[in-house]
Amino acid sequence: MEKLIINKGYKEYQINDDENAVIRVKTTDFSLIDRLSKLKDNVSAIVKEMEAVKKSEDADTILTVLAEADQKIKQELDRVFDDNVAAVVFGDMNCLSFAGGQPVAVNFLEAIIPQISKDFEKEKKASDKRIKKYTDAAKQFK
Residue 137 has pLDDT above 80, yes or no: no
CA distance 10 to 25: 5
Domain range annotation of the chain:
10-137
Q: Which of 7-11, 33-37, 47-51, 90-94 has the lowest mean pLDDT?
A: 47-51
Closest by Cα among 9, 27, 33, 30 to 115: 27
CA distance 21 to 90: 10
Q: Which pLDDT belongs to residue 74?
A: 98
H or E, element range at 22: strand 22-26
Query: Radius of gyration of the chain from Cα atoms?
Result: 20
DSSP designation for 8: -
H or E, element range at 102: strand 102-103
Please give the C-alpha separations between residue 116 and each of 96, 120, 123, in angstroms, as whole numbers: 22, 6, 11
Grade residue 138 by pLDDT with cuts at 50, 70 and 90.
low
Comparing 5 with 127, which gets the higher pLDDT?
5
DSSP designation for 93: S
Comparing 23 with 126, which gets the higher pLDDT?
23
Residue 47 has pLDDT above 90, yes or no: no
